[in-house]
């Protein structure tokens, strides 16, 4: 029996030299700790500093990501009690890696007044800019006790519309991220349907979707069809295999097929690795990601 990890690995040699995404030429100069991995195969992927090497101190993870061969990284809230943002930026610059994506600090948008939302967005945008990130994920869809879905989704969309001009002025792409009801039962926005609709109705170049394929698969399935249907609103993709949320190749999702279809449909953004590899087998996780990168033909 050959699993997906073995199938992907078998294809590495045949695609060396393909231009995966912009930036691959730069990645050829990167020295990785594993000489069997072509750094070009890691170039499409943005490593999540919260979910990889989660047993290590945060700043050390930046060094580990760079040594593994990654060029870009993402994180959750850039405001951490014991690490100034300037220290994260300095560490990333020294390591040769850029943090391009984080989360936007927000209240519960379905019950937040406009003034409170805008104050929090303004402050959070300052943090995003200090980090040097280009993308900021938007959540804020925690359930409100006693409210129906219909009661929550309207005010939620109103607050998204309120923050869109601030994102435009800051030249930051805000990325609305729906969750799934199994991992996030206390959130009310699951799947792509209403998320795509709201972004289209607000119609801002700086308010799009963080299309987390792990959440989409668990929330609604039919992941390739739905991704193609919503591609005009997809700014970035995040991936993790289902059901254990570890790296691609460890579960039931055929990410080689999914990502190749995404690129054929016009996707041009980063692919965030918001998966949780076992720290004891991290080298295998990097190899699995490289094998996936080698299978991308666009």
Task: List, for residues 174-228, the tens digit of each pLDDT value.
Answer: 999 999 999 999 999 999 999 999 999 999 999 999 999 999 999 999 999 999 9
In a domain, 43, yes or no: no
In a domain, 3, yes or no: no
With bands split at pLDDT 50, 70 and 90, how would you rate the model's confidence at 36? confident
Q: What percent of the chain has pLDDT over 90?
A: 87
Residue 33: predicted pLDDT: 58
pTM, full prediction: 0.88
- Looking up residue 167, the CATH number of its domain turns out to be 3.20.20.150
In a domain, 2, yes or no: no
Picking from 85, 96, 78, the residue whose alpha carbon sits closest to that of residue 39 is 96
Residue 84: predicted pLDDT: 98
Higher pLDDT, 216 or 12: 216
pLDDT at 291 over 80: yes
In a domain, 42, yes or no: no
Q: For 141-176, what is each residue's pLDDT tens digit?
A: 999 999 999 999 999 999 999 999 999 999 999 999
Residue 12: predicted pLDDT: 31
pLDDT at 238 over 60: yes
In a domain, 231, yes or no: yes
Q: Round the average pLDDT of the chain to a whole number and report it.
A: 90
What is the count of structural domains for the chain? 1
Q: What value does the mean pLDDT take over residues 249-272? A: 97
Q: For 15-27, what is each residue's pLDDT tens digit?
A: 222 233 333 333 3
In a domain, 89, yes or no: yes
* Structural domain harbouring 218: 58-253+283-294
CB-based burial, 77-101: b 16+ in 10 Å, e otherwise: ebbeeeeebeebbebbeebbbbbbb
Residue 34: predicted pLDDT: 62
Residue 288: predicted pLDDT: 98
pLDDT at 280 over 90: yes
Contacts of 126 (CB under 8 A, 6+ apart): none
In a domain, 67, yes or no: yes
pLDDT at 4 over 60: no
In a domain, 260, yes or no: no
Q: For 42-93, what is each residue's pLDDT tens digit?
A: 999 999 999 999 999 999 999 999 999 999 999 999 999 999 999 999 999 9
Q: What value does the mean pLDDT take over residues 241-264? A: 98
């Amino acid at each position: 029996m050959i699993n997906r990890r073995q199938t992907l690995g078998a294809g590495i040699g045949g695609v060396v030299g393909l231009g995966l995404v912009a930036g691959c030429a730069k990645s050829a100069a990167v020295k990785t700790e594993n000489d069997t991995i072509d750094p070009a195969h890691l170039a499409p992927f943005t490593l999540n500093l919260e979910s990889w090497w989660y047993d290590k101190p945060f700043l050390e993870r930046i060094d580990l990501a760079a040594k593994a061969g990654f060029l870009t990284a993402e994180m959750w809230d850039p405001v951490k009690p014991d690490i100034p943002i300037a220290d994260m930026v300095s560490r990333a610059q020294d390591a040769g890696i850029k943090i391009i994506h984080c989360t936007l600090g927000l209240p519960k948008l379905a019950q937040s007044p406009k003034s409170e939302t805008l104050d929090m967005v303004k402050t959070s945008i300052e943090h995003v800019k200090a980090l040097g990130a280009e993308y900021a994920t938007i959540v804020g869809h925690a359930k409100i006790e006693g409210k129906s879905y219909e009661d929550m989704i309207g005010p939620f969309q109103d607050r998204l519309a309120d923050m869109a001009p601030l994102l435009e002025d800051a030249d930051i792409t805000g990325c609305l991220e729906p969750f799934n009801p199994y991992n996030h039962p206390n959130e009310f926005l699951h799947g792509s349907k209403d998320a795509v609709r709201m972004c289209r109705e607000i119609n801002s170049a700086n308010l799009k979707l963080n299309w987390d394929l792990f959440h989409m698969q668990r929330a609604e399935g039919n992941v390739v069809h739905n991704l193609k249907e919503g591609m005009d609103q997809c700014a970035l993709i995040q991936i993790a295999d289902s059901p254990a949320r570890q790296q691609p190749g460890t579960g039931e999702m055929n990410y080689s097929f999914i990502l190749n279809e995404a690129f054929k449909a016009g996707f041009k953004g980063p692919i965030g690795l918001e998966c949780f590899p076992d720290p004891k087998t991290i080298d295998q996780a990097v190899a699995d990601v490289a094998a996936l990168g080698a299978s991308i033909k666009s």
